[in-house]
Amino acid sequence: MADTTTPPEKKTVIVYKRPLAPDLMAQLEQRFTVLDFTCVTDLTEDADFLEALPRAHGLIGASVKLDRELLARAERLEAISSISVGVDNYDIAYLNERDIVLCHTPDVLTETTADTAFLLILSAARRGVELANMVRKGEWTESVKEPQFGVDVHHKTLGIVGMGRIGQAIGRRAKFGFGMTVNYHNRSRHEIVEQELDATWLEFETLLERSDIVCVTVPLSDATRKMFDQKAFETMGAECIFVNISRGGVVDEPALIEALQNGTIRAAGLDVFETEPLPADSPLTRLDNAVTLPHIGSATHETRFAMAELAVQNLIQSLQGDRPQAPYNWDALDRG
């Protein structure tokens, strides 16, 4: 007798913002109906995307704020696989309420992001961008004199705010590569890290007072929003270099601009901003003592591939009903 049962309908997945390598895309296409929105710039205003959302069981991508109002349209949604470790773009309380699993990409980007932190530390301290631009503009007419000298990084004191995966990788580079003293501020103490890096936990203000360089690697949350304000920059002082590889929202950006303009701090190295892309008219694009990168902490071929690979695995596992490799909110879900 012929089998008259209809095969189960394939689940629908939306890929947004981050194009996937062909073999990763193929892994999704074997299992799901895939809708590709990676070419859409203003996703949340896109009529086709808004029309597709109610059909989506899974979303995979990054760099778009998916708020409650938007996700409410996605009534069949089971999983979001973020191609990022930071999850500040998602309303986690709402996802938990709806039992939607949120996955992210920790660990695979840690070392690359720590390298980027050092790119910023060195560029800001040694005035790398400013002096390279001088050469490019044909303004290198005589040997560099004292007003253009930088400051040393090796053997200085680094204060890390957020001693998690990336903070620790930065700490290892600082301690073992540059002979630096490492202090940290974190909401919990990490005694193993203290031993490995000979690092000291300090209160936030004390850390700022004692640092030659402050590097921020906390996630953006209600507790960390604008934690670097005018008072924080005054506490750091005129010799201090501020490096932010975390999120722009942890900084009061007008206060930072003022601190750089007034010499309240020496310089800043910034990968992340309150508004991204950084508006071209932001003073941060023009200040010689601000090194600005376009949010490229993890942006190497190898690491972006590893992140996408993990994100695809996360999504497949989630939509198959399995525990994904890197869930963010698993314990808060009703999936026991």
Q: Residues interacting with ligand NDP, by CB under 6 A?
A: 85-86, 106, 109, 113, 162-167, 186-188, 217-221, 223-224, 245-247, 271-272, 295, 297-298
Sign of the Cα pseudo-torsion (170, 171, 177, 182, in order):
positive
* Region of 79-87, 121-129, 165-173, 252-260 interacting with ligand LL5AMS7Z (CB under 6 A): 79-87
Site mask, ligand LL5AMS7Z, residues 200-239, x = CB under 6 A?
----------------------------------------
Structure tokens at 203: 């209160």
* Region of 81-89, 188-196, 198-206, 278-286 interacting with ligand LL5AMS7Z (CB under 6 A): 81-89
Residue 85 binds ligand LL5AMS7Z (CB under 6 A): yes
Site mask, ligand LL5AMS7Z, residues 248-287, x = CB under 6 A?
----------------------------------------
44 alpha carbon, distance to own chain's centre: 21
Between 125 and 220, name the residue whose CB sits nearer to ligand NDP: 220
The torsion angles phi and psi of 321, rounded to 5 degrees, stand at: 85, 10
Site mask, ligand LL5AMS7Z, residues 99-118, x = CB under 6 A?
----------x---------
Structural contact between residues 311 and 105, judged by C-beta atoms closer than 8 angstroms: yes
Q: Is 29 exposed, middle or buried (0-12, 13-18, 19+ CB in 10 A)?
A: middle
CB 4 to ligand NDP: min, Å: 51
Between 269 and 297, name the residue whose CB sits nearer to ligand LL5AMS7Z: 297
Q: Which residue intervals of 152-203 are DSSP H helices?
A: 165-172, 178, 191-197
Between 57 and 295, name the residue whose CB sits nearer to ligand NDP: 295
Pairwise CA distance, residues 308 & 68, whole Å: 25
Q: Mind telling me the catalytic residues?
A: 247, 276, 295
Between 143 and 188, name the residue whose CB sits nearer to ligand NDP: 188
Give the chain's count of helices (H) and strands (E): 13, 12
Pairwise CA distance, residues 187 & 283, whole Å: 32
Among the listed residues 297, 314, 316, 326, the single contact to ligand LL5AMS7Z using CB under 6 A: 297
Between 28 and 207, name the residue whose CB sits nearer to ligand NDP: 207
Question: Position of tokens 């957020």?
Answer: 162
Strand order in the sheet with 101-103: 33-37, 12-16, 58-61, 79-82, 101-103
Pairwise CA distance, residues 55 & 74, whole Å: 7
CB 51 to ligand NDP: min, Å: 31
Count of chain residues binding ligand LL5AMS7Z (CB under 6 A)? 6
Pairwise CA distance, residues 158 & 92, whole Å: 32
Contacts with ligand LL5AMS7Z, residue ranges (CB under 6 A): 84-86, 109, 297-298
